[in-house]
Amino acid sequence: MGVTRLWTTWLLFGGLVAAFAGVRVFDGTPAVRLLLILAGAAAALAAVVLRVAAWRRAAAADPDDVSAGARATEAVFALCSIGCVLALAGFLPGTQDGIEWLGLELGGAREERRVRRFFLAASSILMACSALPALAAHWAAKKGGAQGRSAQAALHVDALRIRETASNALSLALAGSALMLLGYVAAERNQTLDFSYFKTATPGDATLEIVRSLDGPLQVALFFPPLNPVGEQVRTYVQALAAAADNVAVEEHDRFADPAAAADWNARTDGQIFFRVGDRTEQIALSVEIDDARGRLRVLDGLVQQALLLLARGRRVAYLTTGHGEMNDPLAQDSLAPRNEPREPWMPRDAPPGPREPPLPVLRRMLELLNYDARDLGAREGLGDQIPDDAAFVMILGPRRPFFDSEADAIREYLDRGGSLLVALESGSEFRIGDFRQRLGVEHDPATVVDDQNHMRETGAPADRRLIVANRFSTHPSVTTASRQGRGGGVLMLGAEALSPAEDVEGLRHSLVVRSMRSSFADRNGDFRFDEGDETRESLGVAIAVEADLPTDPSADSAAPDSASDATPAPAAPAPGMRALVYGDAEIFADRVLVSLQLNAALVADGIRWLGREEAFSGQVVSEEDVPIVHTRTEDVAWFYAIIFGAPSLVLAGGAIAIYGRRARRRTVA
C-alpha cells in the first residue's frame, strides 16, 4: 500500500492561502472576506479528514513491512495537516474580531493585547512547524516515487526518506521560531552593552597655557548629583588641570543640598561646569547620563579651552575674502538653494537664498572654538575700500581669480598697519601671489610639487603622486604641534605649489615652516613623472611665514637726550608688525582633510593662533573622539565587490572543497 492522495497537500495549502487572503487582503470587503475564510477553512478541514482516513486505513491493514512503511508515511502527513488546521484555528483569538465572536471577557486593553500576542505567536510557531514538514514530506514522496509502488524495499526506503526530510524541515522551523522568540525577548528586555573605546580627554598644553595666562585665579565649580559617573569623569579632568596650574581652585556642589552656591553660580540644572575669573563667568553643560555625555566627554578639553578663551579675551573677528572663487565663497559652490527659501545671514545679498550650511563648516567651527567670529569679506562689505579695524586677521583661501586693484591696495594698506594675513594658493588658478610680492616677499612656483616615491594612494592613477606627505617642519611658532611630532609625523598636501623667499625684498623675516620630503620635485610638464635632467629632486617649501616690524616713530628717535643725564637713551622696541602665512595648497583647509587628519588640523590651528598673536596657546587639543575612517572611491568599490561577490565565493569554495574531499575519501575507502 503506497502513499495516496498527494493532491490533498495542495488542497490543504490552498485553503490556508484562501483564509489568509480573506483576513489580510480583502479586509475591506466583508462579503468576499467571509467567503474566502469559510472556503479556506472548509478546504483545510477536508484535507485533514482525507489524511486521517488514509492513516486509519493504513493502520487497519495487515501489520507487514509494506503496511508499516505506509502507516509511518501517512502518519507524517496526517499530523502535519492537523497541526496546520489547529494553527489556523489559533489565529482566531489573536484578532479583534475573533475575541468579539468568541465572547471572551478580558480585564482591559493591556490584558487583551497580551492574549492576542500569545495566540498570534503560538499559532505562527505551530503553523511553521506543521507547514514546512508537510511541504518537505510531499517533495520527498514525489521524488521517491512511492505512489503506486508495491515493492517492500522501495516503500521502506521512501518512508525513511519522507520522515528524515520532514524532520529536517521541522528543525528549520524550530530554529526560526527560536530566533523569533529571541528577537521578542531582546526587544522587551532592551539592554545594550557598549564595548566601544571611551576615555575622557585630559588637559592639553594649549589649555594649560591659557590657564597660566589668565589675569587672576580661576575658580571651577562642578554641579553634579552625588556618585554620578559623569561627575567622576569631569572631576578627574579638573583635578589634573588644578595639579598642573597653581591658579586653579575647584569647588564641588550638590545643587539641592547647597542652594546658596547654586544661586551664586546661577546653576539651574545638574551637569553644569562653571569657570570664573574675577567677575567673568563661562559654563559648559553636560548630561548626567553617562551614555548621553560620552560624546562631549571625549572632547572635553576642546570645550574647556573654548570657555577659557572667552575668559582670557573677548571674541575677535576673522575675515574670509569672497568674490574671487575662494573655497568659502557661497557663489562658487556647485549647487545653490532655491530662491523661495529663506536667506542665511552669511550669504551675499545678491546670492540665491537658502538654509544651507556656510561653506567650510569645519574650519568655521575651528575658528569658533578658538574664539573667533568667521565673517565673509567681499566688495559689498568694503574689501575694495579698507579692511575693517576689528579684523584679527584676513584669510584668502584658494582664490581662482585675481583681486581688483582697489582690493589689493586695501590688503596692502592693512599689512602696512600691522595686520595679519593668511593666503592659501590653489593650483591652476589665475590668482598670483605676485600682487603682494613687495609686502610679503614670497616667490611662487606654479609647478605642482609631486613625489613618486612617498605619496598617498587614492585612485591608483599617476595623479595620486601630487598627494604628497610633508614631514620637514621648522621651529616656528606657527607649526608648534607639527614640529613636536618630529619627522615621524607628516601633513598631507593635495597639489601644493613651491614657495620660497624673495631675495630682493628687504625688511622681512621669512621662515619656511613646512617643506616636502627630499624625494619630491616640481613637475614642470604635468606628467606626474620624474624627468631626469629637466627636474630635480629636493625638499621644497610648501608653507612660509613672514614677519615685519612696524617703523618706529621718527620723532621719538630724534628727541634730544636729557641734558641732566649723560646716558645714551636705549633704542625703542619695535612695535608689533605684520604677520603672514602663505600655504602652497588650499585643500588643507577642506572639511574632509580637517576631519580625517589630526596633524593637518593642528597645523591649521597653530597657524591661526600665530596670526592672532596667541602663539603661547599653541599646542594640540586633546581629544578622544573617534576619527571616522575615510575610504577613497576606489577602496569603496573594492569593498563593495569583495562583500557582494567575495564572501559568497569563499563559502562556495569551502563547500566545494569539503564535498570533493569527502568523495575522494569515499573512493579511497572503496
For residues 236-263, average pLDDT? 92
* 55 vs 571, more confident: 55
Q: Which of 136, 162, 188 is the last residue of a domain?
A: 188
Q: What is the C-alpha to C-alpha distance for residues 272 and 598, in angstroms, rounded to an integer?
A: 29
Q: Do 621 and 206 form a contact (C-beta atoms < 8 A)?
A: yes
* 109 vs 420, more confident: 420
Per-residue pLDDT at 630:
53
Residue 289 sits in the same domain as residue 182 = no
Buried/exposed 574-609: b ≥16 CB within 10 Å, e otherwise: eeebbbbbbbbbbbbbbeebbeebbbbbbbbbbbbb
Per-residue pLDDT at 500:
94
- At 569-595, the pLDDT tens digits run 444 344 478 999 999 999 999 999 999
Residue 219 sits in the same domain as residue 341 = no
Residue 305 sits in the same domain as residue 357 = no
Per-residue pLDDT at 466:
92
Tell me: pLDDT of 31 over 90: no
Please give the grid coordinates belonging to residue 511.
621662515
Structure-derived torsion over alpha carbons of residues 433, 435, 440, 445, reported in degrees to the nearest 10: 30
Q: Name beta bridge partners: 497.
A: 448
In a domain, 481, yes or no: yes
User: DSSP string of 260-308?
Assistant: HHHHHHT--SSSEEEEEETTEEEEEE--SSHHHHHHHHHTHHHHHHHHH
Q: Which of 312, 329, 353 is the last residue of a domain?
A: 312
Residue 464 sits in the same domain as residue 517 = yes
Per-residue pLDDT at 75:
84
- At 632-665, the pLDDT tens digits run 556 677 777 888 888 888 888 888 888 888 777 7
Per-residue pLDDT at 153:
54
Task: Point out the least confidently predicted range of 82-91, 201-210, 480-489, 557-566.
Answer: 557-566
* Bridge-based pairing state of the strands 467-470 and 491-494: antiparallel
Residue 271 sits in the same domain as residue 364 = no
Show Cβ contacts of residue 282 under 8 Å, excluding neighbours closer than 6 positions: 274, 275, 276, 307, 308, 310, 311
User: DSSP string of 158-196?
Assistant: HHHHHHHHHHHHHHHHHHHHHHHHHHHHHHHT------S
Q: What is the C-alpha to C-alpha distance for residues 282 and 289, in angstroms, rounded to an integer?
A: 22
Considering the chain, what percentage of its residues have pLDDT values greater than 90? 35
Tell me: pLDDT of 408 over 90: yes
Residue 586 sits in the same domain as residue 659 = no
Residue 158 sits in the same domain as residue 212 = no
For residues 136-158, average pLDDT? 64
* 46 vs 93, more confident: 46
CATH classification at residue 367: 3.40.50.880
Per-residue pLDDT band at 248 (split at 50, 70, 90): very high
In a domain, 296, yes or no: yes
Show Cβ contacts of residue 223 under 8 Å, excluding neighbours closer than 6 positions: 253, 254, 255, 262, 265, 267, 270, 271, 272, 273, 274
Name which of 583, 581, 444, 435 is nearest 522 in CA terms.
Answer: 444
Tell me: pLDDT of 599 over 80: yes
In a domain, 143, yes or no: yes
* 290 vs 487, more confident: 290
Please give the grid coordinates belonging to residue 488.
615621524
Per-residue pLDDT at 449:
94
Its pTM stands at: 0.56
Domain count, the chain: 4
* 28 vs 198, more confident: 28
Task: Point out the least confidently predicted range of 109-118, 168-177, 521-530, 583-592.
Answer: 109-118
For residues 455-464, average pLDDT? 86
Q: Do 230 and 286 form a contact (C-beta atoms < 8 A)?
A: yes
DSSP state of 503: T
* 437 vs 107, more confident: 437
Per-residue pLDDT at 335:
39
For residues 446-452, average pLDDT? 92
Residue 352 sits in the same domain as residue 210 = no
In a domain, 561, yes or no: no
Residue 461 sits in the same domain as residue 355 = yes
Q: Do 205 and 212 form a contact (C-beta atoms < 8 A)?
A: no
In a domain, 196, yes or no: no
Dihedral over Cα of 331, 335, 336, 341: its sign: negative
In a domain, 622, yes or no: no
Q: Name beta bridge partners: 479.
A: none
Q: Which of 287, 312, 337 is the last residue of a domain?
A: 312
Per-residue pLDDT at 340:
41
Give the chain's mean pLDDT: 82
Tell me: pLDDT of 344 over 50: no
Per-residue pLDDT at 117:
83
Show Cβ contacts of residue 27 under 8 Å, excluding neighbours closer than 6 positions: 33
For residues 186-203, average pLDDT? 67
Tell me: pLDDT of 62 over 70: no
Q: Look up cell 622681512; give the residue.
A: 508
CATH classification at residue 281: 3.40.30.10
Q: Look up cell 569593498; give the residue.
A: 639
Domain extent, residue 648, equals 631-670
In a domain, 195, yes or no: no
Tell me: pLDDT of 156 over 80: no
Per-residue pLDDT at 629:
56
Q: What is the C-alpha to C-alpha distance for residues 260 and 623, in angstroms, rounded to an integer?
A: 35
Tell me: pLDDT of 309 over 80: yes
Residue 280 sits in the same domain as residue 335 = no
Give the three-class secondary structure for 558: helix
Supply angle C-alpha 367, 369, 372, rounded to 5.
45
DSSP state of 345: T
In a domain, 560, yes or no: no
Per-residue pLDDT band at 457 (split at 50, 70, 90): confident
Q: What is the C-alpha to C-alpha distance for residues 355 and 330, in angstroms, rounded to an integer?
A: 12
Residue 526 sits in the same domain as residue 581 = yes
* 496 vs 310, more confident: 496
Residue 432 sits in the same domain as residue 291 = no
Q: Look up cell 594675513; give the residue.
A: 421
Tell me: pLDDT of 420 over 50: yes
Task: Point out the least confidently predicted range of 53-57, 379-383, 550-554.
Answer: 550-554
Give the C-alpha distances (Å, rounded to integers) separating 220 from 211, 231, 232, 285, 310: 12, 13, 15, 13, 15
Per-residue pLDDT at 343:
44
